[in-house]
Amino acid sequence: MSLADAAREYAATHKQLFNEQLIELVRIPSVSAESQHKNDVKRAAEWIARDLQNAGAENIQVIPTEGHPIIYADWLHAENNAKTVLIYGHYDVQPAAKEDNWNTEPFEPTVIEGVLYARGSSDDKGQMFVHLKALESYLKTSGSLPVNVKFVLEGEEEISSKHLMGFVSENKDLLKADVCIISDTGSQEIEQPAIVTGIRGLTYMEIWVYGPKDDLHSGGFGGIVHNPALGLAQILSKMHNPDNSISIPGFYDDIVNLSEEDRANLARTDVDEQDLKELTGIAATWGEAGFSLRERLGARPTFEVNGILSGWTGEGSKTVLPAKAMAKVSCRLVVNQNPQKIYELVRDYVAQITPPTLRSDVKLLSTGSPALMESDLPEVQAAARAYTRGWGKEPVFMREGGSIPIVVDFQRELQLPVIMMGYGLNSDGAHGPNEHFSLEMFHRGIQTAICFLDEISR
């Protein structure tokens, strides 16, 4: 029996134990954004370190940062110049509270019909844990792996990975590898696994509009002073053309046009309109004319309003003419848009359309670059074969709407391809209420991860 086959059998016979362990892990409320959970984040890191220890990993370190710890571990005894695989994951989770429309307590894991409901079950504890169990399955059977493996698991992904890249830059030798695997994405359905080959970049900004120096009484000044909240609405309304394309001059200049082949590939993973309506409760889809839903989501940029605040927003009627108004806005970007250049285009356009009756300012908050992976890369092909063997179905290549800044950062800093092997579903409810993770996907993920370590060794 091959190493991989022995590992696969071990994984198949230990499903119940793996489920129980995952339930233990998601029970820890490792919410990185909330200081009252600082110790819970640490507790989760220590729990994972013990699990790695039990699996047979070596050089296990829980490395403190100014924020939450980074976990490092490896196993480097593969024979004959074997490749090294770097596995990234994160064990911190988004905030969650039952009153935010959860049907169950977010940190009291509940299994209903084979689906595990808990914050972090899919994003990313469940998907990350797949790789720990693949490692364990090899080492508990053969005491060996076909490749070298390194783990880098962070506790700050949900708060912009504040200290990860500093750690990576200072530890390039420690993290040196031939390929990096990230499992933090989803497919459309269980029976159709997906390798994400495209992710969008991000330029996140605040638009501020200023009018009078103080809030004014809307009776005493309404009609002769331009209202900044109205002005902000007027500015935001000029960001799109009637066909929902973005009207910022130069915005589309650097985009690589979709070829016929690209469009044909994207069509294979198009978003089902009915599914989307059911999932989100919207009455009708929206977006840029002339593009399919998948193209709008994965291959076209956006201008989104993430938040607005101005004036009186409490109970009842307060007749204020506000002094200022603010919108949080962000653009999702596609190759080859440059996040900094997009900020400058937005800033200049807002300045241009701000009327002389108001003042405005656009502040840059954060950026992330878009990425697109060629599907014929050998590492992507190895991942595809791993799904075919381990999941039981050939994967599709998908372009995602979200941004995973560390993909681009890892590629740049460590000079290696980053492959996004997702084990979740887009409908898992990451960041929302009732986050969940199919235990069937968990186990098919472990089988796939075992096969990947085998396929990449060839």
Q: Does 325 bind a copy of itself (CB under 8 A)?
A: yes
Q: How far is the CB of 322 from a copy of itself (least distance, A)?
A: 7
Binding test (CB under 8 A) with a copy of itself, winner from 7, 48, 175, 326: 326
Binding test (CB under 8 A) with a copy of itself, winner from 11, 44, 149, 321: 321
Listing DSSP states for 4-27 in one string gives HHHHHHHHHHTHHHHHHHHHHHHH
- Three-state DSSP class for residue 328: strand
**What part of residues 386-415 is at the interface with a copy of itself (CB under 8 A)?**
400-403
- Alpha-carbon dihedral 119, 124, 125, 129, rounded to 10 degrees: 150
Q: Taking Cα atoms as reference points, which of 327, 340, 349, 352 lies closest to residue 250?
A: 349
Q: Taking Cα atoms as reference points, which of 286, 276, 296, 289 lies closest to residue 243?
A: 289
Q: How far is the CB of 281 from a copy of itself (least distance, A)?
A: 3
Using CB under 8 A as the binding criterion, the count of chain residues that bind a copy of itself stands at 89
Q: Are 25 and 107 in contact (CB under 8 A)?
A: no
Distance CA 186, CA 297 (A): 14
Q: Does 313 bind a copy of itself (CB under 8 A)?
A: yes
**What part of residues 132-161 is at the interface with a copy of itself (CB under 8 A)?**
160
Stretch that binds a copy of itself, among 20-28, 108-116, 176-184, 349-357 (CB under 8 A): 349-357
Q: How far is the CB of 288 from a copy of itself (least distance, A)?
A: 7
- Phi/psi for 421 (5° steps) reads -100, 95
- Phi/psi for 370 (5° steps) reads -75, 160
Q: Does 266 bind a copy of itself (CB under 8 A)?
A: no
Q: How far is the CB of 340 from a copy of itself (least distance, A)?
A: 15
**What part of residues 267-286 is at the interface with a copy of itself (CB under 8 A)?**
271, 276, 280-286
Q: Are 417 and 377 in contact (CB under 8 A)?
A: yes
Place of tokens 């209903």: 112
**What part of residues 284-303 is at the interface with a copy of itself (CB under 8 A)?**
284-288, 293, 296-297, 300-303
Q: Does 236 bind a copy of itself (CB under 8 A)?
A: yes
- Phi/psi for 172 (5° steps) reads -65, -35
For 206, half-sphere exposure in the C-beta direction (CA atoms, 13 angstrom radius) is 11
Specify the residue, 27 or 90, whose C-beta has the smaller distance to a copy of itself. 90
Listing DSSP states for 78-142 in one string gives -STT--EEEEEEE--B----TTTT-SS-TTS-EEETTEEESTTTTTTHHHHHHHHHHHHHHHHHT
Binding test (CB under 8 A) with a copy of itself, winner from 99, 113, 214, 374: 214
Distance CA 231, CA 209 (A): 7
**How many Å is the Cα radius of gyration of the chain?**
24
Specify the residue, 80 or 237, whose C-beta has the smaller distance to a copy of itself. 237
Q: Are 63 and 56 in contact (CB under 8 A)?
A: no
Specify the residue, 62 or 230, whose C-beta has the smaller distance to a copy of itself. 230
Q: Does 167 bind a copy of itself (CB under 8 A)?
A: no
**What part of residues 351-370 is at the interface with a copy of itself (CB under 8 A)?**
355-359, 365-366
Residue 250 CB coordination number (10 Å): 12
Binding test (CB under 8 A) with a copy of itself, winner from 38, 42, 140, 328: 328
Q: Does 430 bind a copy of itself (CB under 8 A)?
A: yes
| Beta-strand relationship, 179-182 and 418-421 | parallel
Specify the residue, 137 or 203, whose C-beta has the smaller distance to a copy of itself. 203
Specify the residue, 173 or 316, whose C-beta has the smaller distance to a copy of itself. 316
Q: Any residues with CB less than 8 A from the CB of 169 and at least 6 apart, and which?
A: 413
Stretch that binds a copy of itself, among 79-87, 197-205, 342-350, 406-414 (CB under 8 A): 197-205
Q: How far is the CB of 273 from a copy of itself (least distance, A)?
A: 9
Q: Does 372 bind a copy of itself (CB under 8 A)?
A: no
Distance CA 414, CA 81 (A): 19
**What part of residues 92-131 is at the interface with a copy of itself (CB under 8 A)?**
101
Q: How far is the CB of 153 from a copy of itself (least distance, A)?
A: 22
